[in-house]
Chain A
């Protein structure tokens, strides 16, 4: 079985700070990480590999050259092969164009039985690219997957819903997008880290995957950023104080009573 995992290198949005003077985001010093949901997707692939010797796990990303660091991390966790789709022509892609590029890359890899992706990336939170790759590859798709069982030529998965889950049967090849509840991603092993630096990372540009520059990146993106801005800050509130904690609590409750909230 050949499993392809789509991954993205993202800034750790939990570490982003706001400049108090300008109200804008400070990106300096924000670490780049393997997108958390993608780590769950990779872990799911590695679990299948652990249970089924002979399984190959291939990782693919679209990104700038430095995304290779993230691919090495994936190799160190246990992936067998890594592909980096990197080209100036891919820049500025929206989800439509990103999915077109990744789908072209996956087609070139060939003979993939299962594609796994994270539900969404923390820098954009769109949850669109996985589904869109599946449409382009004409594969059935299940999103928000929190449990996977592979049986012969099909998968039985749990799809997370707001109030529970659905049990879904789907034929392979298919694409599944994975959520955090699926598993706990493993750490890189020491041996894995050493080996990861020996392993080649295949880099493909637009010609390699058979796309014209007009078919990828900003040129092929139906949506465009019209403008971006910092979210507006709210006015300053009132601090409730008192000589002791019951006085503070009393003051708060009387405020709420004044406002007829309680």
Chain B
């Protein structure tokens, strides 16, 4: 497909130029010209007052897509423990599978991980494809992508979902090239088109300034990585059983070209911000890295944890693993305190689904107040100690 301007109809009003999210349109001699940056999104078609812009179809070789069936979830495990995002993917995958009228499967890789299949059934998987081999004990791109590529080739799923973890985001792009299909990264919403039963994948782009809905019309499987913490977890039913399909996981010398020498944990004692119920987050308004200490006092009082904006992390005040936002972690705690955070759209993208947002900022016009449930205009170095005092009065 391509966007085309009918020169005779174009009046050079430049509405399309202004509407283009990708800056791809220029007006030359009073006629709109579509440039290289065009992604075919169609925004300009909607705004054109004279219907001078069209989406043209280009002929493509249509593959037989009907043989692809089933929704698959990559059941990422680390050290024999299934990652929380997998249960969210199973929850979402079940909805998609029901709408299409197909089965929900999990694909599990590891060494001696057969015992995890019951848990996957309990969370809704009808079938588990199991690749169990000593070579799969630790995650490697080559090892995992080899067995999953082979499984996709044999069993032909229609949709494959991966958690957008450091492993999922490593594995899925390699598989997209190996199996020759499209991949949409970091999706925050998935839905099935009621007419053609294809998946529509919505994700933030431009640091959360724009949402894009992506389709993968001509190749299979349709693949997405999904942000952890966004989808609802599947219901747990320990009585539910399913079928285990064992995969051949045979490796030859040279198949796995990286070697994991050591796994080092650095943050074992910190509550992961994606699991925290209470988050006290700081931004550049802290003015100094020591400000995070004050936030920690409030967080400790609530039994929560401290997080930071990207600007704080970029300034070297905080570690990347507590960064909230589009390029950091998406969080949805019960309470999110935004302290000295102005509310850049990329930050808001990572915390707007929190149950309750409390913003403290000196600047009454800070955009963070637009998403806050409660706002306090004031100096956080005065307001936070006062809140701690009030909580003390309650005996917290």
Q: Does A163 contact B177, Cβ atoms closer than 8 Å? A: no
Jot down 14 A-B pairs with beta carbons below 8 A, ordered by A: A91-B35, A92-B40, A144-B170, A219-B58, A222-B181, A224-B215, A226-B215, A228-B212, A231-B345, A233-B371, A239-B374, A240-B376, A248-B386, A257-B394
Q: Which of A156, A165, A169, A228 has the most CB of B within 10 A?
A: A228
Q: What's the nearest-Cβ distance from chain B to residue A214, in Å?
A: 9
Binary CB contact string for chain B from 248 to 261 against chain A (1 if under 8 A, 0 otherwise): 00000000011111
Contacts of A246 in B (CB 8 A): 386, 389-390
Binary CB contact string for chain A from 228 to 260 against chain B (1 if under 8 A, 0 otherwise): 111101101111100001101110110111010
Q: Does B335 contact A13, Cβ atoms closer than 8 Å? A: no
Which residues of chain B in 121-148 are interfacial with respect to chain A, using CB atoms and an 8 Å cutoff?
138, 141-142
Q: Does any Cβ of A come within 8 Å of B50's Cβ?
A: no
Q: Does any Cβ of B come within 8 Å of A126's Cβ?
A: yes
Contacts of A96 in B (CB 8 A): 176-177, 182-183
Q: What's the nearest-Cβ distance from chain B to residue A230, in Å?
A: 7
Which residues of chain B in 174-212 are interfacial with respect to chain A, using CB atoms and an 8 Å cutoff?
174, 176-178, 180-186, 200, 204-212
Which residues of chain A in 56-88 are interfacial with respect to chain B, using CB atoms and an 8 Å cutoff?
64, 86, 88
Q: Does B1 contact A135, Cβ atoms closer than 8 Å? A: no
Check A250/B390 contact, CB under 8 A, given A127-B185, A164-B263: yes
Chain B interface main SS type: mixed
Q: Does any Cβ of A come within 8 Å of B87's Cβ?
A: no
Q: Does any Cβ of B come within 8 Å of A183's Cβ?
A: no
Contacts of A150 in B (CB 8 A): none
Q: Does any Cβ of A come within 8 Å of B74's Cβ?
A: no
Check A13/B207 contact, CB under 8 A, given A222-B181, A261-B334: yes
Q: Does any Cβ of B come within 8 Å of A134's Cβ?
A: yes
Binary CB contact string for chain B from 146 to 178 against chain A (1 if under 8 A, 0 otherwise): 000000000000000000011001101110111
Q: Does any Cβ of B come within 8 Å of A151's Cβ?
A: no
Binary CB contact string for chain A from 20 to 33 against chain B (1 if under 8 A, 0 otherwise): 00001101000000
Interface size in chain A (residues, C-beta < 8 A): 89
Contacts of B356 in A (CB 8 A): 256, 259, 261
Q: Residues of A with Cβ closer than 8 Å to B?
A: 11, 13-14, 16, 18, 24-25, 27, 64, 86, 88, 90-92, 94-96, 99, 120, 122-132, 134-136, 140-144, 156, 159-171, 174, 179-181, 218-219, 221-231, 233-234, 236-240, 245-246, 248-250, 252-253, 255-257, 259, 261-262
Q: What's the nearest-Cβ distance from chain A to residue B321, in Å?
A: 6
Contacts of B263 in A (CB 8 A): 161, 164-167
Q: Does B257 contact A140, Cβ atoms closer than 8 Å? A: yes
Q: Does A228 contact B41, Cβ atoms closer than 8 Å? A: yes
Q: 4 extra interchain contacts, Cβ-Cβ under 8 A, other than A91-B24, A143-B169?
A: A122-B207, A125-B204, A131-B173, A171-B257
Q: Does A14 contact B207, Cβ atoms closer than 8 Å? A: yes
Q: Does A228 contact B43, Cβ atoms closer than 8 Å? A: yes
Q: Does any Cβ of A come within 8 Å of B244's Cβ?
A: no
Which residues of chain B in 331-354 are interfacial with respect to chain A, using CB atoms and an 8 Å cutoff?
334-335, 344-346, 349, 352
Q: Does A11 contact B265, Cβ atoms closer than 8 Å? A: no
- Assembly CA distance A96 to B173 (angstroms): 9
Q: Does B357 contact A237, Cβ atoms closer than 8 Å? A: yes
Q: Does B265 contact A163, Cβ atoms closer than 8 Å? A: yes
Chain A interface main SS type: mixed
Contacts of A168 in B (CB 8 A): 258-261
Contacts of A99 in B (CB 8 A): 177
Q: Does B389 contact A125, Cβ atoms closer than 8 Å? A: no
Contacts of A143 in B (CB 8 A): 141, 166, 169-170
Q: Does B358 contact A170, Cβ atoms closer than 8 Å? A: no
Candidates B138, B206, B349, B370; contact of A11 at CB < 8 Å = B206
Q: Does B374 contact A226, Cβ atoms closer than 8 Å? A: no
Q: Does B215 contact A255, Cβ atoms closer than 8 Å? A: no
Contacts of A130 in B (CB 8 A): 173
Candidates A120, A124, A159, A227; contact of B41 at CB < 8 Å = A227
Chain B minimum-CB-distance residue to A100? B177
Q: Does A230 contact B210, Cβ atoms closer than 8 Å? A: yes
Contacts of B387 in A (CB 8 A): 249, 252-253
Chain A minimum-CB-distance residue to B34? A91
Q: What's the nearest-Cβ distance from chain B to residue A157, in Å?
A: 9
Contacts of A120 in B (CB 8 A): 327
Q: Does A141 contact B174, Cβ atoms closer than 8 Å? A: yes
